[in-house]
A and B are shown apart, each in its own frame.
Chain A
Amino acid sequence: DIQMTQSPSTLSATVGDRVSITCRASQTISSWLAWYQQKPGKAPKLLIYKASSLESGVPSRFSGSGSGTEFTLTISSLQPDDFATYYCQQYNSYPCSFGQGTKLEIK
């Protein structure tokens, strides 16, 4: 099974900051990597798919990069609505697996 490891687990930042979250896969997954945003009490929302493709309706301040085993989600200029928990997920093969999550907090 493919293990996904995110870092950091918690990230404190301020509105306007540029932040990045890293996700590493235990084996190569090509570009079959998605990023989700989840707010308390809500279902996850798809942000990025195929490592770098922006889901329709998602603000362009969100971007994804990487391939193989190392991936990054970057938010170019944090907005108040962006404080949430972010998860990566590999969909290269079953069982689909998620990272443990990164909680983005207001500094």
Chain B
Amino acid sequence: EVQLVESGGGLVKPGGSLRLSCAASGFTFSSYSMNWVRQAPGKGLEWVSSISSSDSYIYYADSLKGRFTISRDNAKNSLYLQMNSLRAEDTAVYYCARDDKLLVDYWGQGTLVTVSS
């Protein structure tokens, strides 16, 4: 069974940093591209970033303007999102998601990031 478990969310002040993690199991992690997708409270889904299976290709939403960095450790079956210079508008549930040729087929349960003073 595919499982994706996010962690690392919490309350952070504007301008602060946070690192999210996603532990994957139930599939060959090193064979799949992975994504972060976020959802602000009461809002829709917003794709954040993708990383290919061997991190040869990395993509970001234009709105992030270089503040976020996606990475992975295939030896640890883990995906990460380093978030810097956080703003109130970054407040959201952040989902880790697997994709198969760009189709997002499995999602984690999400971790809440709240940016507030």
Task: Please measure, in the bound complex, the distance between the C-alpha atom of A94 and the C-alpha atom of B110, giving whole angstroms.
Answer: 22
Task: Please measure, in the bound complex, the distance between the C-alpha atom of A101 and the C-alpha atom of B45, giving whole angstroms.
Answer: 8
Task: Please measure, in the bound complex, the distance between the C-alpha atom of A82 and the C-alpha atom of B57, giving whole angstroms.
Answer: 37
Q: At the interface, yes or no: B44 with Cβ under 8 Å from chain A?
A: yes
8 A Cβ contacts from B83-117 to A: 95, 99, 101-110
Q: Contact at A95–B62, with CB atoms within 8 Å?
A: yes
Known contacts: A43-B107, A43-B109, A44-B107. The answer to whether A97 contacts B102 by CB under 8 A is no
Q: Contact at A44–B61, with CB atoms within 8 Å?
A: no
Please tell me which one of the listed residues B44, B59, B101 contacts residue A87 in the complex, with CB atoms under 8 A apart: B44
Task: Please measure, in the bound complex, the distance between the C-alpha atom of A49 and the C-alpha atom of B110, giving whole angstroms.
Answer: 22
Q: At the interface, yes or no: A1 with Cβ under 8 Å from chain B?
A: yes
Q: Mark contacts of B39-78 with chain A using CB atoms, 8 A cut-off: 1 yes-contact digit, 0 otherwise.
A: 0000011110010000000010110000000000000000
Known contacts: A94-B50, A95-B62. The answer to whether A44 contacts B102 by CB under 8 A is no
8 A Cβ contacts from A48-107 to B: 49-50, 55, 87, 89, 91-101
Q: Contact at A34–B104, with CB atoms within 8 Å?
A: yes
Known contacts: A34-B104, A91-B103, A96-B50. The answer to whether A44 contacts B45 by CB under 8 A is yes
Cβ contacts under 8 Å, B50 to chain A: 94, 96
**B interface with A by C-beta (< 8 Å):** 35, 44-47, 50, 59, 61-62, 95, 99, 101-110
**A interface with B by C-beta (< 8 Å):** 1, 32, 34, 36, 38, 42-46, 49-50, 55, 87, 89, 91-101
Cross-chain pairs A/B with CB under 8 angstroms, 19 sampled? A1-B62, A34-B104, A43-B108, A44-B45, A45-B107, A46-B104, A46-B105, A49-B105, A50-B103, A87-B44, A87-B45, A91-B99, A93-B102, A94-B50, A94-B59, A95-B62, A98-B46, A101-B44, A101-B45
Q: Nearest 4 pairs between A and B by C-beta?
A: A91-B102, A43-B107, A98-B45, A94-B59
